[in-house]
Amino acid sequence: MLSERIASLAAQAGGGRCLSEVVVGLGFTLVCLDDGACGVAYTLRDELERGCDAFNEAGKIRGREVREVLPWMGGSSIIASSVGLAAANALLLPPEQAFSGDLMAYLDLKAGERVVTVGRFRPMEARLKRAGVELEVIERGDHQAPLSACDVALVTATSIINNTLEGILDVIAGAREVVILGPSTPYAPGAFEGSAVTVLAGSAVSDLESVRRIISEGGGTQTMGKALGRWMARVA
């Protein structure tokens, strides 16, 4: 499984480090380690467990070694999965070959190309439409037909959290670029080798104090803005 490969690479990068802080916000989850490294992942609040205790591990995470929570990624508990992915992102820094820039400019989209987004990327959707592409946005439901015939696929990294990414990638055939996109994206090119994925377009925390405050107050991607550095990395 992809989540297992991501967890394995993260563990190799520093699985013995300990968690010093975990913040589960309405929009994102933040994990900080004892060496100051930190990572974020989306909080899928629409899929949270119902009840007074949404997360049974609450109050028992700080001080644990990262390797203990990495296997939570892709599991049945949505909050635990977000914590696991955020912990992985704290360990998986942008690789040496990573580069910054405008994703759309890098993709060099042509008018008439078929672009499918799995997940909503509202600021990008307006730009895609202006570029003259044939755009289809998939949030839930059947994604096989549009993905099997697209030229470019932009897939939300939150699909790692609810364990739907591999099913999405399985139906992509012939796309020239497949991008895993969003702050939850793990910089683990090796985990995606052999898959349809060609580009990882994620973020690294550049202003921890701002990110901590925004996440704890319920903010999301747009609010964090410049507090996140955005990087791209190709999958070999």
pLDDT (tens digit per residue) in 57-108:
788 899 999 999 999 999 888 999 999 999 999 999 998 889 999 999 999 9
Top CATH class, 2-91? alpha beta
List own/partner pairs for 213-216 with CB under 8 A and 24 or more apart: 214/25, 215/23, 215/25, 215/27, 215/28, 215/29, 215/30, 215/40, 216/23, 216/25, 216/30
Q: What residue ranges of the chain are covered by domains with CATH 3.30.390.100?
A: 2-91
> Which residues is 204 bridged to in the sheet?
229
Q: Write down the pLDDT at residue 123.
A: 84
Per-residue pLDDT band for 175 (boundaries 50, 70, 90) equals: very high
Q: Write down the pLDDT at residue 231.
A: 95
CATH topology of domain 103-234: Rossmann fold (3.40.50)
Give the residue, 53 or 111, on which the prediction is more confident. Answer: 111
Per-residue pLDDT band for 53 (boundaries 50, 70, 90) equals: low
pLDDT at 139 over 60: yes
Give the CA angle between residues 55, 222, 224 to the nearest 5°: 70
Give the residue, 85 or 16, on which the prediction is more confident. Answer: 85
Mean pLDDT of 145-164: 93
What would the two tokens of residue 134 be? 């044939």
Please state whether the predicted TM-score (pTM) of the whole model is above 0.95: no
Q: Write down the pLDDT at residue 145.
A: 76
Q: Write down the pLDDT at residue 23.
A: 96
| DSSP secondary structure of 85-132 | HHHHHHH-PPPTT-B-S-HHHHHT--TT-EEEEES--HHHHHHHHHTT
pLDDT at 228 over 70: yes
What would the two tokens of residue 222 be? 């747009």
Per-residue pLDDT band for 4 (boundaries 50, 70, 90) equals: very high
Q: What residue ranges of the chain are covered by domains with CATH 3.40.50.11590?
A: 103-234
pLDDT at 140 over 90: no
**203 by DSSP, 3-state: which?**
strand
Going by the DSSP 8-state scheme, the letter that residue 197 receives in this structure is -
Q: Tokens 């070959």 correspond to what residue?
A: 97
Kindly state the percentage of the chain with pLDDT values over 90: 80
pLDDT at 144 over 80: no
Mean pLDDT of 185-191: 96
